[in-house]
Amino acid sequence: MEQSLLYPVRNDARDYTLLDGMWKMRFDPEVLGEKNEWQNGLPDAFSMPVPASFADLFTEKEKREYCGDFWYETKFFLDEDRSTRVILRFSGVTHRADVYINGVKAGSHEGGFTPFALDISDLVNYGARNLLSVRVNNELNETSIPCGSVKTHMDGRKTAAPYFDFYNYSGIQRSVHLMRIPKESIRDYDTSFTLENNDADITYRVYTDGEHPVIAELFDRDGQKVALCEGKSGVLHVQNARLWEVRDAYLYSLVFRIVDEAGNNIDKYPAKIGIRTVEVKGNKILLNGKEIYLKGYGRHEDFEVVGRQFIPALAKRDFELMKWTNANCFRTSHYPYDEHWYQMADEEGFLIIDEVPAVGMMRSLMNFAAAGAGGKDTRFFTADTVPQLQANHRNALEEMIIRDKNHPSVIAFSIFNEPETTYKEAHDYFKPLFDFARELDPQKRPLTGALLVNSTPGKDTCAELCDIVALNRYYGWYIMGGPDLPEAEMAFRKEMDQWALICKDKPLIFTEFGADTYAAEHKLPSVMWSQEYQNEYYEMNFRVMDDYDFVQGELVWNFADFQTTEGIMRLNGNKKGIFTRNRQPKDAAFLLKKRWEQK
C-alpha cells in the first residue's frame, strides 16, 4: 500500500489518466467470485458508472438493498514508458476493497471514505491493455467504522442494519486515477503557520523517497514569487502576507521540486495553501488571532439517484445556498467527504469540522431515536470487538488527517459522533485516539467530538478530551416536542447551567439540533412536522444559546433532507433539512438567513 495520498496533478513531471466511466459490475452473494476466478474476467456482468453509489440506480429492491461482496471490472491501456512508477489511486471505495491487476492481487483496503493507492508497476503490461478488477464488500459490523450489523433474511438475502441514521450507500463512490509519477518522488508534505505583525512564516516539511535536494517556492495569486527555501524542511518568510479569512479566501501556490545536480526537475508538486492560524483560547475560537462564531450546517453527501457521488454542479449549488444563508461553516458528518468539497471550501473561505466515520458506536438499530432521546447504554466499549474497532478507527483517523492536514478550510478534527461516553471504558477507548490525532496533525488544530444527550456533566467521560465541546441536542423534538416545547426550553436551560460550570475555559458548539419538517405542511397553530413548528423550534433553541456566552457555534441539523434506512419514523428519509433534498428552501432557511446576517 502506498503511503502518499497526494491529490493527482498533471505537469512536466507527473501525469494521470482518469478511469471514471462505465465499468462492469456483478453481485456475488455466495462469495464465489475469487474461487471462480472472476479477477480474470467478470462473467454475466452489467454496466455500472464509476464513481457512483449503486443503490438508487436500480428499480429492483433486492439490488438496491444488496449487502455482501460485489465486483467491478474495467480495462485500461498503458504505453511503453517504463521510466515512471505506475500508481493506481482510489479516492473512496465503501467499505472494503481487494484490487487485482491482470488477475494478480495488488492490495486491499478497509475504510470507505479516504483514498488508498497501490504501486502496480510490476503487475501491468506495457504497450498493452490491462484488466483491473475490484472486489468490494459493504457489510457493517462492530469492528468497522461506521458501525452496524447485517441482517440475514429467511430467503438468505442479507441487508445492512446500520447503527446510524443515514443510508449505507456503497460502491466505488469516488474517482479512480491511474497515475504516472517519477521513481524518486514527493510523497507528502506538512505546513504550519506563525503570524507576526503583517508578516507570516510557513514552516514546511517534505517527504520524499530519495536523497536529491528539494526546493520550495511560494507564489502569490498573480504568479509572483514571494518566498523561496531550499531543503526538505524549512521556513518560508512572507512579507505583508495576505491571510486566508472566513468568506474571504486568499490562496498562495506552494510548489515543491526535487532537483538533480544540474538543477533539472526530477519531480514537482504544486499545492494551494492559505496562510491562517486557528486556536482555542479560553472559551473562544480564534482564527488569525480574532474571535469567530461558527454558523452553518451538519450535512451529508447525499442526493437523489447518485447517492454520495460528487457532482460539481450540485456542490456549487450547495455552496451558493450556504452563502445565501450567511453561513460560514459545516461539519463533514459523519465521514470525510470527497476531496473536491475541501478544495471548494478553500476557495470559498468556508470553515470545516472534519469528521472521521466513527458513528454508530451504540448498539441500536434506531440509533437516531436512542441518541436523541437519551437511550440506555449498551456497554458498547466493553465488547471483545473493541481492540479491532480501535485499530480501524486509528487507521481511518490517520488517513483523514494525512489527506486533509494542509487545507486551510479545515479548522478542527472530530473524533466521534454520538458514542456512548458515560463509563470508564469509553474514555479508555478514546483517549489514545485523541493523543494520536494531536501527535499527527502538524497544525495542532482543536479536536472535538459530538456528544449525545445522555452525555451530560457528571455522567460524560470524554468531554475533557475535547478542545471544543460539541453537543447534539434535540430538546423540542425527540425530547418534549409539540405542546411540551416550553418544558423543553426549561430542560435545555437546566442542562446548559451545568455546562456553564465546565465551559469557563472551553468553548461549546452545537453540532446538531433540528426538527423533521415536511416541506408541504403548513399548520396554524403549529404541529410537529409543519413549517411553522420548525421555525418555533429554532427560535426556542436560539433563545437558549444566546443566553450563554461560552456558546461559540451553531451547526443546525441538517443542511438538506437526506436518505436513511426505511422506518416508521422516517418519511423516505430524514426531513430535518433546511432545504429539501433537491435543494429548495423551507421556511426556516429565511429565519437562518436573517439571524446569521446579524450574528
- By C-alpha distance, which of 190, 194, 186 is closest to 214? 186
Characterise 293 by phi-psi region: left (phi > 0), alpha (psi -120 to 50), beta (else): beta
Residues with catalytic roles:
418, 512
Q: 78-104 burial, b if ≥16 CB within 10 A, otherwise e? A: beeeeebbbbbbbbbbbbbbbbbbbee
Check: CB of residue 108 under 8 Å from CB of residue 100. Answer: no
Characterise 296 by phi-psi region: left (phi > 0), alpha (psi -120 to 50), beta (else): left
Q: 320-353 burial, b if ≥16 CB within 10 A, otherwise e? A: ebbeebbbbbbbbbbbbbbbbbbebbbebbbbbb
Backbone CA torsion sign across 271, 276, 280, 284: negative
Check: CB of residue 56 under 8 Å from CB of residue 163. Answer: no
Three cell numbers, residue 26: 456483478
The rounded distance, in Å, linking the Cα atoms of 450 and 219 is: 38
Check: CB of residue 416 under 8 Å from CB of residue 398. Answer: no
- Strands 284-287 and 290-291, by their bridges, are antiparallel
- Strands 84-90 and 148-152, by their bridges, are unpaired
Three cell numbers, residue 323: 452563502
Three cell numbers, residue 383: 465488547
CB atoms within 10 A of CB 75: 12
